[in-house]
């Protein structure tokens, strides 16, 4: 059945034919969905007939958000750690170990329930495509079950056995790297599309990262890297040299890092919710954009450094704290995330794209930053099906 949404105040399409390779929008617009795809966009006055008609009443319609970095399979919570940071304690990656312990002790139904709750939160806030990592099991069995559960809710599943060195391997990190590259990878690869490494002080070195990414690639997994979050380091250079789809965080970059990203297909995925939650400096989005790097925005939803599932919140932070324009931030949260996930079918509303879209209770995309913290997403369609709707 075809559906026409008409009387759209602003239709953000990100369509190449309307605005080059960046943000593009139409006013006084309409959109037709059919068979799960966008069938037509254009002026409302020229809209074709459809089986169902929805009056947007001047509200804005955008592509569904594409969240390309999230950690949703875990147990436990770390609210006390957050409160301590807000009282002045520094952020350290070691807090991951407490989540690992809780996740190992959780049952599959407990992990599935938490995952479902967070995926539902994302959908209600306009996220129609999201990536989900493992990384809180760090045993062969626990990593494999984490990825199996993630695969129930998204095709964008990332093997992150190389999150930290677990306590039982503290005296023999080489043995753990071998496990991640060997038996654990064998068990996890069937469930995953991506392989990721936390290349950072206190986590994995450049050489270890290269070895793990190469092993994952040999199993058909595509690399991505946690890079340059806690300080300057080799992560971005490793990501670019390894042909990674994205280098995520990018908080502490040198000029050479920026140039490497700008000269490559590796997307710089920025996670401003982390800086909000850890009181760290925000990434230099303006420097990356000026250099010509492709920038994505994502939540990094996780129980430690950033427990938000809200892409609208991250857009508002990107505009206020990273000096992105509203157009740049929305493009990075939609088309940018799609590039980070190698998904040409989402992040835009050109004819033939997946009909993943959201409607705001507002006349333009700018309200996502103009009215921060307000639940503006009033309806969400995924594959042309109404999947979430705000109570009226």
Residues 240, 238: Cα–Cα separation, whole Å = 6
pLDDT digits (tens, 9 = 90+) for 181-212: 999 999 999 999 999 999 999 899 999 999 99
- Residue 261 is inside which H or E element, if any? helix 255-262
Sequence-distant (6+) residues with CB within 8 A of 290 are none
- The 10 Å Cβ neighbour count of residue 272 is 29
Domain boundaries, the chain: 3-64+347-389, 66-340
Pairing outcome for strands 377-382 and 385-389: antiparallel
Q: Are 73 and 103 in contact (CB under 8 A)?
A: yes
pLDDT (tens digit per residue) in 275-322:
999 999 999 999 999 999 999 999 999 999 999 999 999 999 999 999
Q: 59 CB contacts (<8 Å, ≥6 apart)?
A: 8, 9, 359, 360, 361, 362, 363, 378
pLDDT in tens, the chain (392 residues): 999 999 999 999 998 765 556 899 999 999 999 999 999 999 999 999 999 999 999 999 999 999 999 999 999 999 988 998 899 888 765 688 889 999 999 999 999 999 999 999 999 999 999 999 999 999 999 999 999 999 999 999 999 999 999 999 999 999 999 999 999 999 999 999 999 999 999 899 999 999 999 999 999 999 999 999 999 999 999 999 999 999 999 999 999 999 999 999 999 999 999 999 999 999 999 999 999 999 999 999 999 999 999 999 999 999 999 999 999 999 999 999 999 999 999 999 999 999 999 999 999 999 999 999 999 999 999 999 999 998 76
Say which CATH topology domain 66-340 has. Answer: TIM Barrel (3.20.20)
Would 3-64+347-389 and 66-340 be classified into the same CATH topology?
no
In CATH, what class is 3-64+347-389? mainly beta
Pairing of strands 156-162, 127-133: parallel
């Amino acid at each position: 059945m075809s559906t026409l949404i008409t009387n759209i105040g602003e239709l953000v399409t990100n369509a190449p034919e309307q605005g080059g390779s960046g943000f593009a929008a139409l006013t006084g617009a309409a959109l037709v969905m059919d068979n799960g795809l966008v069938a037509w966009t254009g002026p409302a006055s020229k809209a074709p007939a459809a089986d169902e008609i929805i009056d947007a009443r001047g509200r804005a319609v955008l592509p569904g958000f594409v969240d390309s970095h999230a950690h949703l399979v875990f147990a436990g919570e770390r609210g006390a750690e957050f409160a301590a940071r807000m009282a002045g304690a520094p952020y350290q990656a070691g807090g991951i170990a407490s989540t690992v312990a809780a996740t190992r002790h959780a049952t599959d139904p407990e992990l599935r329930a938490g995952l479902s709750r967070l995926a539902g939160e994302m959908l209600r806030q306009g996220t129609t495509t999201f990536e989900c990592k493992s990384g809180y099991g760090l045993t062969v069995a626990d990593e494999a079950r984490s990825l199996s559960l993630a695969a129930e809710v998204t095709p964008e599943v990332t093997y992150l056995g190389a999150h930290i060195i677990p306590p039982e391997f503290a005296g023999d990190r080489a043995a753990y790297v071998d496990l991640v590259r060997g038996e654990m990878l064998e068990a996890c690869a069937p469930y995953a599309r991506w392989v990721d490494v936390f290349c950072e002080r206190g986590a994995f070195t450049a050489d270890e990262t290269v070895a793990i990414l190469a092993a994952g690639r040999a199993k058909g997994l595509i690399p991505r890297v946690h890079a340059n979050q806690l300080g300057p380091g080799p992560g971005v250079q490793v990501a670019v040299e390894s042909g990674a789809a994205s280098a995520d965080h990018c908080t502490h970059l040198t000029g050479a890092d920026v140039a490497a990203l700008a000269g490559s297909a590796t997307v710089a995925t920025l996670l401003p919710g982390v800086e909000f939650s850890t009181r760290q400096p925000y990434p230099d989005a303006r420097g990356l954009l000026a250099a010509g790097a492709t920038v994505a925005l994502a939540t990094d939803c996780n129980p430690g450094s950033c427990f938000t599932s809200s892409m609208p919140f991250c857009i508002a932070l990107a505009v206020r704290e990273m000096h992105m324009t509203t157009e740049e931030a929305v493009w990075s949260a939609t088309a940018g995330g799609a590039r980070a996930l190698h998904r040409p079918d989402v992040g835009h509303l050109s004819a033939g794209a997946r009909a993943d879209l959201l409607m705001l209770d507002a006349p333009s995309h700018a309200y996502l930053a103009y009215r921060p913290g307000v639940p503006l997403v009033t309806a969400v369609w995924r594959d042309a099906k109404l999947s979430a709707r705000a109570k009226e």
